[in-house]
Structure 1
Amino acid sequence: MALQWLILTYVVAAEAAVALLLTLPYPKLLKNRLVSLFSLIVQPALFIVPFSGFHLLDIYWKNEHRLECTSEICTADERDRYEKSIYKAQRNVILCVTAGLLYWCIHSICKYNKEIERLEEAEKRSKDE
């Protein structure tokens, strides 16, 4: 399971880097090339949405069936282990939600840039006529 979280972490880092690259100001030609490149990558990268959704369901199921250590009988080690598992679950939820949000941001940025490019071409055609 740790390998899956590592993969999700790397995907989120890559999505953050791509979102940063798409939002930086570039010359028009370079911007269009970057948008077209990342638009080709966005479609196959859709796997991250069900992947993170599955992990969210897994976290929810584990949270519902987790043994609680709130009584006086629990040792300090058991309480620490319980709190650590809660913190890890919260971190993983944030990671899953971030993966979905960053994917949506990249998709939206690419869509809006393509729409701007299409409108500029239409404006250029109308000026030529």
Structure 2
Amino acid sequence: MALQWIILTYVVAAEAAIALLLTVPAPKLLKKRFVSLISFILQPCLFVVPFASFQLLDLYWKNEHRLMCTSEICTAAERDRYERSIYKAQGNMILCVAACFLYWSIYRICKFYNEIQSLEEVEKRYKDE
């Protein structure tokens, strides 16, 4: 199970780096090629959304079927273990949401950039006429 979270962590880190590179000012030609490369890669990388969604469902199921340790019969070690599992699940939930949000952000940034390029081309054609 830990391998899934490591993979998702690396994916989120890569998405964050890509989002940062897309938003950093760059020369027009370099930016255009980088956006086209990322747009080309986005479709195969769509697996991130169902993967993160499945992980969220898994977290929800585990949360609903988790043994509660809130009574006074629980030992301190059991209570600490329960609290750590809750904190770990919350962190993993944030990771899943971040993966979906970053994918959507990258998609929208690329789409906006492509729309701006097409509008600039239309403007250039009108100026030439």
TM class, shorter-length: over 0.9
> If the length of structure 1 is used for normalisation, what is the TM-score?
0.99
Cα distance, 1:8 vs structure 2: 0.1
Structure 1 stretches of 4+ moved >4 Å: none
Cα distance, 1:106 vs structure 2: 0.1
Equivalent residue, structure 2, for 1:85 = 85
The Cα offsets for residues 28-65 of structure 1, whole Å up to 9 and x where unpaired, read as 11110110010011111110000000000000000000
Aligned length: 129
2:82 aligned with 1:100: no
2:14, 2:71 → 1: CA distance? Answer: 43
The Cα offsets for residues 78-122 of structure 1, whole Å up to 9 and x where unpaired, read as 001000000000000000000000000000000000000011111
Equivalent residue, structure 1, for 2:110 = 110
> If the length of structure 2 is used for normalisation, what is the TM-score?
0.99
Give the gaps of 5 or more residues in structure 2.
none
Give the gaps of 5 or more residues in structure 1.
none
2:67 aligned with 1:67: yes
2:119 aligned with 1:119: yes
CA-based RMSD: 0.5
Letter matched to residue 41 of structure 1: I
What's the % identity of the aligned pairs? 74
2:71, 2:114 → 1: CA distance? Answer: 58
